[in-house]
Amino acid sequence: MAKPNIAIKDIESALKFRRAMKSFDVSKKINEEDIKLILEAIRLTPTSYGFEPFNVIVAQDTDFRKKLEKAAGVNAARFTASHLLIFTAKTGEELTRKDGHIDHMLRDVAYMNAVVRTGYKTFWKKWAKTDFKIFGDNEKLHQWAARQAYIALGFAMMTAAERGIDSCAMEGFSIDKLAEILEELKLIDREKDLPVVMLALGYGNKEPHSQTRRDINEIIKYC
Percent of the chain with pLDDT over 70: 100
pLDDT tens string 71-122: 998 888 899 999 999 999 999 999 999 999 999 999 999 999 999 999 999 9
Residue 207 lies in a domain: no
Instruction: Provide the pLDDT confidence category of residue 208 given band limits of 50, 70 and 90.
Output: confident
Range of the domain at 154: 22-96+135-202
Q: Would you say 173 and 71 are in contact if contact means Cβ atoms under 8 Å apart?
A: yes
Residues whose CB falls within 8 Å of the CB of residue 168, separated by 6 or more in sequence, listed in order: 20, 21, 22, 78, 81, 199, 200
Give one DSSP letter per residue of 68-102, joined into a string.
HHHHHGGGGGGGGSSEEEEEEEE-HHHHHSTTSHH
Residue 179 lies in a domain: yes
Q: Report in angstroms the alpha-carbon separations of 153 from 56, 160, 196.
A: 10, 11, 11
Residue 58 lies in a domain: yes
pLDDT tens string 24-40: 999 999 999 999 999 99
Residues pairing with 55 in the sheet: 88
Residue 33 lies in a domain: yes
Q: Does the pLDDT value for residue 192 go beyond 80?
A: yes
What is the Cα–Cα distance from 41 to 203, expressed in whole angstroms? 19
Q: What is the pTM of this model?
A: 0.95
Q: Would you say 201 and 160 are in contact if contact means Cβ atoms under 8 Å apart?
A: yes
Q: CA dihedral defined by 56, 80, 31, 173, rounded to 10 degrees?
A: -20
Residue 55 lies in a domain: yes
Residue 211: per-residue pLDDT? 83
Residue 184 lies in a domain: yes
Instruction: Provide the pLDDT confidence category of residue 206 given band limits of 50, 70 and 90.
Output: confident
Provide the mean pLDDT of the chain.
96
CATH code (residue 79)? 3.40.109.10
Instruction: Provide the pLDDT confidence category of residue 140 given band limits of 50, 70 and 90.
Output: very high
Q: Does the pLDDT value for residue 209 go beyond 80?
A: no
- Average pLDDT rounded to a whole number, residues 157-171: 97
Residue 215 lies in a domain: no
**Sheet order of strands, 54-58 included:** 54-58, 83-90, 193-202, 166-170
Structural domain count of the chain: 1
